[in-house]
Amino acid sequence: MAGPQSPILSIQDLKKSYGPVEVLKGISFDVFPRQVVGLLGRSGSGKSTLLRCLNFLEIPNSGRILLENEEVGVDSSQARRRPHPAGVLARQRRQMAMVFQNFNLWPHMTVIENVIEGPVRVLGLSQEEARAGAMRLLRDVGMEHKADQYPIRLSGGQQQRVAIARALAMRPKLMLFDEPTSSLDPELVAEVLRVMRDLAEAGTTMLVVTHEMAFARDVCDRVMLLHEGRLIEAGPPREVMLESQNPIAASFFAGLRGEAAMSEGS
C-alpha cells in the first residue's frame, strides 16, 4: 500500500525526558496515508512514550509533530514554544484516535453507548445518526450482537474490538494502537489482530506498537525498531526483521525467532 509523497504524520527530532532520564533521544519519521507502520522494540525502549507524545498525552520536551502539516500541541515556529488552545488540541487528538492496552471502556455504559458517546457529544451527530454509524462499525468488528451488553459481560478480546469501533467512530485521520493485544489471553489475540488486518486492507492509516511479530511481518508496510530511545532501524518488514546489518537489530530479531522456535517445539 504505497502512499503519496506527502506524509499524513511527520515526526521531527522528538525528545522526551523524565527528570534526568532521557526516554526519547531525537526520533524522526513519517507516516503516509494508508500505511500501516509497526513500532517494535524491547520493553523500556520508548515505544509507548513515543505514541503518547504524538497526541500530547505526554508532553515532549522538544521536536515537532505535524499532522497534515499542522503542528500538534504547540506552535514552535517562534523562539518560544506556545501551547495550542485547548480546543485546538482536542481537535487534533480526535484526528489521531488511540486504542490502549486496557480497553478503557466506560463500565456504566453499554457497548452501543460507549461507541456513540463521542460522535454525539463531540462531533455533534444526532442520536439516530450516531447509532446507525455505531452499528455499522460494530458489525465490522463482529460485535453487533453485543450492542446492548455492558463491558463487564465481555471477554477481553470483545472489549478491545469495541474499543476499536469506538475509536473509529470519531472518524480519525489515523489510528494509534498501543500494544492492543498485550492484555489479552493468547486465545483472544487472533480475533483482535483479525480486525486490525481488516482495517489495513480497507486502507486505514495505522501506527501500531506491537510485540506480535507475525502481524508486523505480514500486515505492516514498514516497521521501525526503537532501542534505548533511538530509532535504530526502519524499512520494509522482511528487510528489517530478516536482513538487518545493524547488530542490535539483528540480535533482537534473532532472539525473537529463537523464542518462537522454542515455543513451537514445546
Select from 48, 6, 245, 136 the least CA-distant residue to 235. 245
pLDDT at 3 (0 to 100): 42
- Residue 201: inside a domain, yes or no? yes
Grid coordinates belonging to 4? 503519496
Task: State the residue range of the domain holding 131.
Answer: 105-171
- Whether 91 and 48 share a structural domain: yes
Q: Is residue 264 part of a domain?
A: yes
Could you give the number of structural domains in the chain?
Answer: 2
Question: What integer pLDDT is reported at residue 264 of this predicted model?
Answer: 55
Query: Based on the domain organization, do 201 and 248 belong to the same domain?
Result: yes
Say what the pLDDT of residue 205 is. Answer: 97
Partners of 231 in the β-ladder:
226
Pairing of strands 222-227, 230-235: antiparallel
pLDDT at 258: 64
State the cell numbers at 263: 515455543
Are both 231 and 195 inside the same structural domain?
Answer: yes
Domain assignment present for residue 100? The answer is: no
With vertex at residue 224, the alpha carbon angle to CA 6 and CA 24, rounded to the nearest 5 degrees, is 95
Residues 2, 75: one domain?
yes
Same domain? For 193 and 78 the reply is yes
Do residues 14 and 53 make contact, with C-beta atoms less than 8 angstroms apart? Answer: yes
* Residues 218 and 163 placed together within one structural domain of the fold: no
In the listed set 115, 136, 171, which residue is the last one of a domain according to the structure? 171
Please tell me the total number of residues recorded for the chain in this structure.
266
pLDDT mean by block of 10 residues, the chain; 266 residues: 73 96 97 97 94 94 94 84 89 93 92 96 94 96 96 95 96 95 89 95 96 94 97 95 93 79 52
Same domain flag for 50 and 137: no
Q: What is the pLDDT of residue 5?
A: 73
pLDDT of residue 2: 43
pLDDT digit string (tens) for 179-214? Answer: 999 889 888 999 999 999 999 999 999 999 999 999
Q: What is the CA radius of gyration of the chain?
A: 19
